[in-house]
Structure 1
């Protein structure tokens, strides 16, 4: 609603608007629909202070649109005289065409209105004027009903003539955005300027306003990239690239001209050819595509992301689950009024027909490896640096490829390193990394992922394969969620690493010692923040419950109870304030799972049973893994009571500290060890309140009910989500113990673990293909190295400390005897415990004092047994 001061000052003035202007506005009104940003701009103004609007470009249609937007928002009319300034209109434009408009002389400089306003304030020190910058965009986002002409005449960076602007209004006027910026107090700016002359003051303010309008335009329609040739020439003329061309010519004994031509081909292979018309065409074409595939696309916390972006170079870093990720992100950003980023895409997607379209949509292509081609590496680095220097938003996937398991893959920091080095070279605009969690309810690539994890080779992308893949349009894939996580600013990370980091950019070839550490911390934090923005959909919850049963089947009542417990756990112990959980109740979740074809109902007189058949059960493991990190603390507590009726709270927490680094490395959890222990404490208290555990001995001793009770069943369901991780850990340490120290390399151990896990999966009919995923074993072995439990000797073989024995011993508390027996039989070749390895004669110095090796772990184990003994005594009383 307009404020009273606005109404009182406004209506008399509107009567003085020329009749021909009012008539033109009435004629234009059916063709124009205005969206104001913000919706209530009157709240930005200071009551009682005269208002003068400034628009970016002179134009009759812009004046009509502005007048109508102000009228609808209850703002003062731009056509009224500006009191005390001798101006017939309360609006002026920074850029002007020939001819008089809005009451101005065509021979005057565009800065003249500012000088005039400044002089009017000098005459009266008590007066003030608030300058309100207003950006007007016609046809920024055509709808899917828009024609090709609408796309051609949509908003861009080119200053067009009156006829072209008229066509744009007629074709795209119903998609008009009027952006009101916060007002600027002219008096405050004058006071800060001191004795500056009005003419110089006017030039200074005009320059600031032009920069402001460029930033707003770049944020709404994207940066002005001109032609791709501009970027290509800038890359080829950069000093590092010229040096690389000269070095290549000398090394390969070819002429400089030929080396330059090779470099030119490489840049053309890489560079995007961004086209606003293509992006706008794709936006309404994709609307039909998404409507055929999905039941809805939802974004959460986008307003927070948009508020943090202004003034930053924004790098979108989403999770990578599907080829649809590229298009979904670009489409949603464009439809939300944000410029489409340039996207780093694998060169395998540069297919005939498809590649050029992606390139014009902002994709730039990179090879899978830069090894053996120094010139390619230099050129690609320079191209990224040029994009950052020009303020072009970017998007890339730091996982390096699509996740086949549903978990986040270990980050590959190549693009991050290039981004950081480019920023260090020219730190003009601070860099902001925006993590995004992308959640699906069904994947187009689901079956191919399962095949690849089972050992089938990955199918190479081809145009024929794409055409065959169009059959996916026959299916429905549910809802998609894009959750925007907490953004990460680069500058604080650099400040923490090195106070003098700004001097590192003077040498483009410099690699400071702290650089890799900063990039590693950045990569880990991105993954953590992606996980902290997870969306829990109905399929995730069904997967967590049903995959925890031997036959992937549950009685309906049990399933409903388990779903209610999981939702209560997620709401009572929130992982972060950006996690979203489906609002559906358990009965609606079950019905939705049946509708989507994930589960099947078997009617029975004693109560219906819900079951996930073999193939859906394997695919469901993907969606369980999407959100497994959210229940990691609950799963750990539940695991402690799989094979133990009673444990002390201290034992649960102690073992949690030991296992946490490995869980954290696999699931990218956000806490340190103390934070994880605090989460465990809160989870234990939740289980006690729910009656799943009973606390005695002043809370020191925890006990679950008998195995046949509902509480014990519910704990088993929760525990199964994490128990396979411990089984994998046990496979690795058992295989290492079997071979002994100085006998096997890390790569050989990884292969042995994978084979053992595959065989165990066949014997136990495990439905999770990621159980024998090489990457997970590789990550566990790497974490053992980081914790100084395992290290490499001079011959490249693995050696280990006695802490490995303690880990084997602690595993007995969690894993069932039959599972330990199976693992040891597969890895050691018999059913006996692996022989105790001889400790190294002189373990590395760094193993002492690590807090998780040697005698300290042994002492902790003795303490754990003492707690168990205390628990038994407490139980008798």
Structure 2
């Protein structure tokens, strides 16, 4: 942590006599990719319409469907007006001023890795620059633009969903600050699809702005990495493979929040309550956030990745030599190697994450509530947090903690809606939850009872802050879980069991399957170093004497194993089933079981169910297809049985002797 230097970009604004003078200063911005003639938002649109690719397409459609070409051109203009970004410096300055006022009120600081962003600025000018931040909140858009504004970097052209476009007034404001809009589905609209791809090509090859997009595709409700999406990445990289640009530089960025603005909304969504539709009125209602405190925010800019260097010899220069460049598409070989870059970007985002004390408190409090007979005192919590901080730093985590007493006090103030100290004991806040006006037809799965929601939401919210830590712990947790099941075992058996379980959890804890063996070797060394495991004289491995950390590791992965096991039990009773039925039945069964024994409520979360279905599809136990009412799955019972037999021993060993904690029992 000491090697990373962060500057609080709010600090100078606190000292300003007037922030107006700063936001209205003369700005000499650094552009990403210098062009002979500086393009404008309108010139980009004209270049797209006049591009030979689009003109040939319009000609072909005109002949085939007997539609005047002029009419089709007008349709392309409508599409481009829907997609295209704009830049209005007055709007940008005005929003910057408003943002400063809000952030000074609700944030302790906005910390930026100064050296990295300055290094990125040095690289700008000769190649397209692509900013790839993690996506945990709607605030990501604003914070990225504010950081660029602060460091005199051109505000990026930002890929945004159509949800924002349809918000009254806000759509045009976002467009004026650089947002361009993309539909989540194209419904076989080939004209739209071709126009959008050409627009991206235009921004990459002829644009001066950096491009910003979210490789996970959507906000992560769970606050941990999602499997990367390849569609927009393919479009951005296409000019490199076609040799239209010398290189494309990707800058992975992690945005870490001490408190996430949407934390409660995410908790409800994970439990199946649909998110409200984005609207301007809802945005104004959300301005009540200025009454809350959100602590620190870290924007950690990573080392830029040269895609040319990354692909190296795999960047086949002879692959696109035949035929006009505008008629060429990515080859199968190109598409095969692009996912490796996507996973590398996600991996970099994970390593760049900054953990706050609340992340450590969440793990300790969650473990105490679900495994102990007595609540922790504040002093006991502090000792355990310091101990866990040391362990996590051994695992390579960046823990933001300058003075533990101040950080603890800050965490309890910022998160007083979740945790509190009563008579010297640490507990979670529970609120009444009114579901009477809930539209049952829009539920994603089973309608959980109000008592179960009251019981579950606080612990699900805690898990939102536990999840960012699990990237550092999951490999050692699996090793400990394997040794709990198999006891004393050889290195080969331990390794093969680890690889199998790590692949099962591939979508839950995102990594590239090609890196799993390396992760095992690293985790083996780390786990031995802190006595989680030990190597005997007989060249076998056993559990070590660090039982406290073993217990925590098992505790944090239990909900995932339980969810996966429940999904498998449902699937083994049918030959095919639609997704909503699977999710509904899983929640229904877990809710019933929670009344009889301790089952962590995070086991109810729909993200884990979906990740399990993806993993089973990856293992060919399921075949996924789109039906009339959404996705459905055909089950290969033989392969499903094999996976069940491999997972079930973990259920028996990891849940043995678990009973409903006394502090939680009366809530059900």
Bin of the TM-score, shorter chain as denominator length: 0.7 to 0.9
Q: Could you tell me how far 1:341 is from its partner in structure 2? A: 0.8
SS of the residue 1:365 aligns to:
strand
- Cα displacement (A) at 1:396: 0.9
Aligned to 2:385: 563
> Aligned equivalents of 2:40 and 2:591: distance in 1?
55
Q: CA deviation at 1:330?
A: 0.8
In 1: Cα distance, 2:280 partner to 2:594 partner: 40
Alignment counterpart, residue 313 of structure 2, candidates 474, 483, 495 = 495
Task: Classify 1:701/1:678 alpha carbon distance in 2 versus 1 (closer, same or farther; 3 Å).
Answer: closer
Quick check: 2:481–2:654 contact (8 Å CA) kept in 1? no
1:340 maps to what in 2? 155
Aligned-pair Cα RMSD in Å: 3.5
Candidates 590, 595, 600, aligned match of 1:760: 590
1:797 aligns to what?
A: 634
Larger radius of gyration: 1
Q: Distance in 2 between matches of 1:682 and 1:555?
A: 34
Aligned residues of 1:483 and 1:533 also touching (Cα < 8 A): yes
Q: Which residue of 2 aligns with 1:357?
A: 173
- For residues 221 and 239 of structure 1, the distance between their equivalents in structure 2, rounded to whole angstroms, comes to 23
Cα distance 1:309–1:733, how it changes in 2: closer, same or farther (>3 A)?
farther
Whole-Å Cα distance in 1 between the matches of residues 107 and 64 of structure 2? 53
1:132-173 deviation line (CA, Å, top 9, x unaligned): xxxxxxxxxxx893658x8778246xxxxxxxxxxxxxxxxx
Q: Where does residue 270 of structure 2 map in the other structure?
A: 453
- The one of 555, 563, 568 equivalent to 1:720 is 555
Q: Kindly tell me: are residues 360 and 224 of structure 1, through their superposed partners in 2, closer, same or farther at Cα, counting changes over 3 Å? A: farther
Work out the CA distance in 2 between the residues paired with 1:219 and 1:417.
20
- Equivalent residue number for residue 538 of structure 1: 357
Please state whether the residue corresponding to 1:610 is helix, strand or coil: strand
Structure 1 equivalent of residue 83 of structure 2 = 270
Tell me whether 399-408 or 556-565 shows the greater mean CA deviation. 556-565
Shift of 1:410: 2.4
Q: Residue 668 of structure 1 aligns to a residue in which SS? A: coil
My pick for the range that moved more, 229-238 or 499-508, is: 499-508
Q: Is the CA contact (8 Å cut-off) linking 2:130 and 2:251 kept in structure 1? A: yes
2:542 paired with 1:702: yes
Q: Distance in 1 between matches of 2:622 and 2:41?
A: 51
Q: State which of 154, 164, 169 in structure 1 corresponds to 2:26.
A: 154
- Normalised by the length of structure 1, the TM-score is 0.62
For 1:422 and 1:818, locate their aligned partners in 2 and report how far apart those are by CA, in whole Å: 50
2:603 equivalent in structure 1? 771
Call closer, same or farther: CA 1:440–1:369 in 2, change over 3 Å.
same
The 2-side partners of 1:773 and 1:436 are apart by 27
Kindly report which structure 2 residues correspond to 1:465-864, keeping only aligned pairs within 5 A, or say none: 465-491=282-308, 492-493=310-311, 495-496=313-314, 498-501=316-319, 503=321, 506-551=325-370, 553-556=375-378, 558-574=380-396, 579-584=397-402, 587-596=405-414, 597=416, 598-603=418-423, 608-614=424-430, 615-640=457-482, 646-648=487-489, 650=491, 651-669=493-511, 672-688=515-531, 696-697=536-537, 700-703=540-543, 711-739=546-574, 743-744=575-576, 747=578, 751-752=581-582, 755-761=585-591, 763-764=593-594, 771-787=603-619, 797-799=634-636, 801=638, 805=641, 807-816=643-652
Q: For residues 36 and 355 of structure 2, what CA distance do their matches in structure 1 show?
A: 35
1:413 deviation in Å? 1.9
Choose which of 175, 179, 184 in structure 2 pairs with 1:368: 184
* 1:339-418 matched pairs, under 5 angstroms: 339-350=154-165, 351-390=167-206, 391-418=208-235
Distance 1:585 1:703, change over 3 A: farther
Is the alpha carbon distance of 1:400 and 1:503 closer, same or farther for their aligned partners in structure 2, counting shifts above 3 Å?
same
Mapped contact 1:347–1:365 kept (Cα < 8 A): yes
State the distance in 2 between where 1:799 and 1:496 align: 36
Q: Aligned pair in 2 of structure 1 residues 382, 609: CA closer, same or farther (>3 Å)?
A: same
How far the C-alpha of 1:378 sits from its partner, in A, is: 1.3
Aligned mates of 1:500, 1:144 — CA distance in 2: 60
2:7 matched residue in structure 1: none
Between the aligned partners of 2:547 and 2:485, the Cα distance in structure 1 is: 11
Alpha-carbon shift at residue 398 of structure 1 (Å)? 2.1
CA contact (8 A) 1:222 1:340 kept: no
Q: CA deviation at 1:424?
A: 3.6
How far residue 774 of structure 1 moved from its aligned partner, in angstroms, is 4.5
Shift of 1:331: 0.5
1:507 Cα deviation from its structure 2 partner:
4.4
Deviations 1:756-803 (A, max 9, x none): 24531553378977634555444444444444566689x98332556x
Distance 2:511 2:524 in 1: 16
Shift of 1:315: 0.8
Whole-angstrom distance in 1 between the partners of 2:137 and 2:170: 17
**What SS does structure 2 have at the residue aligned with 1:288?**
helix
Report which stretch shifted further, 626-635 or 609-618: 609-618
One of 237, 243, 250 as aligned partner of 2:56? 243
What SS class does the counterpart of residue 18 from structure 2 fall into? coil
Measured in 2, the distance between the counterparts of 1:217 and 1:589 equals 36
Cross-structure match for 1:825: none
3-state SS of the aligned residue for 1:524? helix
C-alpha distance 809-229 of structure 1, shift in aligned 2 (>3 A): closer
Q: CA deviation at 1:342?
A: 0.6
Q: Secondary structure in 1 aligned to 2:255?
A: strand
Q: Which residue is 2:92 aligned to?
A: 279
Question: What's the CA shift for 1:401?
Answer: 1.6
5 Å matches for 1:50-65? none
For 2:297 and 2:247, the matched residues in 1 are separated by 31
Alpha carbons 1:425, 1:506 under 8 Å: kept: yes
Cα deviations by residue, 1:516-549 (Å, 9 ceiling, x for unpaired)? 2133222222212211211111111112222234
CA contact (8 A) 1:556 1:610 kept: yes
Q: Summarize deviations over 1:451-498 as a string: whole Å, max 9, x none.
A: 222222321111111111111111111111112234332223273253
Matched residues, number: 597
The structure, 1 or 2, with the larger RCO (C-alpha pairs under 8 Å, 6+ apart) is 2
Tell me: CA distance 1:254–1:667, structure 2 relative to 1, closer, same or farther (3 Å).
same
Find the residue that maps to 1:218 and give its secondary structure: coil
The 3 A distance-change label for structure 1 pair 788 and 261 is closer
Distance 1:153 1:527, change over 3 A: closer
Asked whether the equivalents of residues 635 and 720 of structure 1 are also in contact (C-alpha less than 8 Å), the reply is no
Residues 63-103 of structure 1: CA deviation (Å, up to 9, x unaligned): xxxxxxxxxxxxxxxxxxxxxxxxxxxxxxxxxxxxxxxxx
Alpha-carbon distance between aligned partners in 2 of 1:241 and 1:334, rounded to the nearest angstrom: 35
CA distance in 2, matches of 1:698, 1:250: 78
- Mind listing any 5+ residue stretches in structure 1 that lack a counterpart? 1-142, 157-215, 706-710, 823-877
Distance across 2 between alignment mates of 1:371 and 1:791: 23
| 1:246-279 superposed Cα distances (whole Å, 9 cap, x missing partner) | 4444566543332222221111111111134433
Query: What is the Cα deviation at residue 217 of structure 1?
Result: 4.8
1:548 is paired with a residue of what secondary structure?
helix
